[in-house]
Amino acid sequence: MFEATFPEARYILDLLKAINAVAEEACFKITPEAIAVKAVDPSIMALVDFRLEKNASEEWVLDGHEELKMSVSVSETLRIIGGAKAGEALTITYDPEEKKVRFILLEATGSRKRDIYLNTLEEFEGKDVTPKVEFKAMASITTKALREAVEDCRLFNDVLKIRIDSEVVELSARSDEGNALIRFPKYSSLIYELEAEQETASHYSILYLSKMLKTGLSLSDSTRIDLAKDKPMKIGFEIPYGKLDYYLAPYIRS
């Protein structure tokens, strides 16, 4: 039996949306210390690596098990509790014998309590396909600025190029109609950190990046990108008591 109470339901919704940016379904591993999930999209182009520690909750109880696995439809979970209001607390309970997850939404004044149940999926667990990459460049940028740069590139193509060297971060895209080039110099107020062993550049899908940054914008002011030439890129967001990382496969031009 697992039970955890979180003081702000909408924060948990934002985290679920971040997972849903990659996966419709996910297997959550629950331990006495944390809840975690690794999930890939059907095309195996993107992976989400998420962990939330027990300290994010007001109450965290795991009885009778060292670990539980809870497989659910993330998109369906969002549909049924997506109407959570600001200030509502969320309690999640899961009994593997019942094969149901219970969501309790409680208004701050205690004037309304809502119980919603979701059937779990048949237990599944995908392979750990976390890429092992030796990154050559890293930049930490404001999430808002990075998302705006991606959307500028989207005006011209569905693929963009990211280039990092010791002095600048560049995003660019081109088409027959024109091109976009967005540069973030090292000493820009929008850059928190920039390191590069060598100049590194790769191409990536704008569709995936846009989804990741849209959800990340509600969770973190900064985004860290780790880059290696023609290798999966790592996109990380700082979240309280946990981690949210994405890996995105490169677009290899033929």
Judge whether 2-119 and 137-248 match in fold: yes
In angstroms, rounded to a whole number, what is the distance separating the alpha carbons of residues 15 and 10? 9
CA angle 51, 54, 57 (to 5 degrees): 110
Pairing, β 233-239 against β 222-227: antiparallel
Pairing, β 89-95 against β 34-40: unpaired
**pLDDT, tens digit, for every residue of 210-233?**
999 999 999 999 999 999 999 999
- Token pair belonging to 152: 């500028």
Span 137-248 CATH architecture: Roll (3.10)
In angstroms, rounded to a whole number, what is the distance separating the alpha carbons of residues 250 and 240? 29
- Token pair belonging to 68: 């539980």
Nearest to 3 by CA among 89, 80, 83: 89
pLDDT truncated to tens, each residue of the chain (254 aa)? 999 999 999 999 999 999 999 999 999 999 999 999 999 998 889 999 999 999 999 999 998 788 999 999 999 999 999 888 888 999 999 998 999 999 999 998 878 899 999 999 987 665 667 889 999 999 999 999 999 999 999 999 999 999 999 999 999 999 999 999 999 999 999 999 999 999 999 999 999 999 999 999 999 999 999 999 999 999 999 999 999 999 999 997 65
Domain 2-119 grouped into CATH 3.10.150.10: yes
- List CB contacts of 118: < 8 A, sequence separation 6 or more: 72, 73, 76, 77, 80, 100, 101, 103
Domain boundaries, the chain: 2-119, 137-248
**pLDDT, tens digit, for every residue of 4-23?**
999 999 999 999 999 999 99
In angstroms, rounded to a whole number, what is the distance separating the alpha carbons of residues 233 and 219? 20
**What is the model's pTM?**
0.93
